């Protein structure tokens, strides 16, 4: 397994919204995975096949369309809802 390093970056709010919407839509497991995949696509295009590149482009286009249509949510709101759903699920399991 490759070693990893933690990197803190500052991005424009619009890019952060796009990134979070891709993760929220299930296109990527995490923001880190999304950034890693996009950087690989940019700097190591040979590591991705055409289908993967098309999938990334489609996910980004979908996120752009969602943002343009106003279909965005504050991350804090989404996380609160998710935590509530998880808590309800755990209560039902017990």
Q: pLDDT (tens digit, 9 = 90+) per residue, 26-56?
A: 888 999 998 888 888 777 766 667 787 788 7
pLDDT at 93: 63
Tokens of 52: 């993967």
Residue 76: closest CA among 16, 36, 32:
16
Largest interatomic CA distance in the chain = 48
**Number of alpha carbons in the 13 Å side-chain half-sphere of residue 64:** 6
Q: What are the E-state strand segments in the chain? A: none
More confident residue, 84 or 30: 30
Tell me the whole-structure pTM to 2 decimals.
0.47
For every residue of 20-72, DSSP letters joined together read HHHHHTTSSSSHHHHHHHHHHHHH-GGGS-HHHHHHHHHHHHHHHHHHHTT--
Please, are residues 18 and 73 in contact by the beta-carbon 8 Å criterion?
no
Percent of the chain with pLDDT over 70: 91
pLDDT at 4: 85
Q: pLDDT (tens digit, 9 = 90+) per residue, 8-22?
A: 888 888 889 889 988
Q: pLDDT (tens digit, 9 = 90+) per residue, 50-75?
A: 787 788 788 888 888 888 898 887 88
pLDDT at 1: 47
């Amino acid at each position: 397994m490759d070693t990893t390093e933690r990197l803190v970056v500052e991005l424009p709010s619009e890019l952060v919204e796009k990134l979070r919407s891709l993760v929220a839509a299930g296109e990527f497991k995490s923001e880190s995975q999304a950034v890693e995949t996009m950087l690989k696509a940019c700097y190591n295009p040979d590591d991705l096949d055409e289908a993967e590149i098309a999938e990334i482009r489609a996910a980004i286009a979908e996120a752009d369309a969602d943002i343009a249509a106003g279909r965005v949510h504050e991350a804090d709101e989404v996380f609160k809802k998710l935590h509530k759903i998880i808590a309800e699920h755990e209560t039902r399991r017990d």
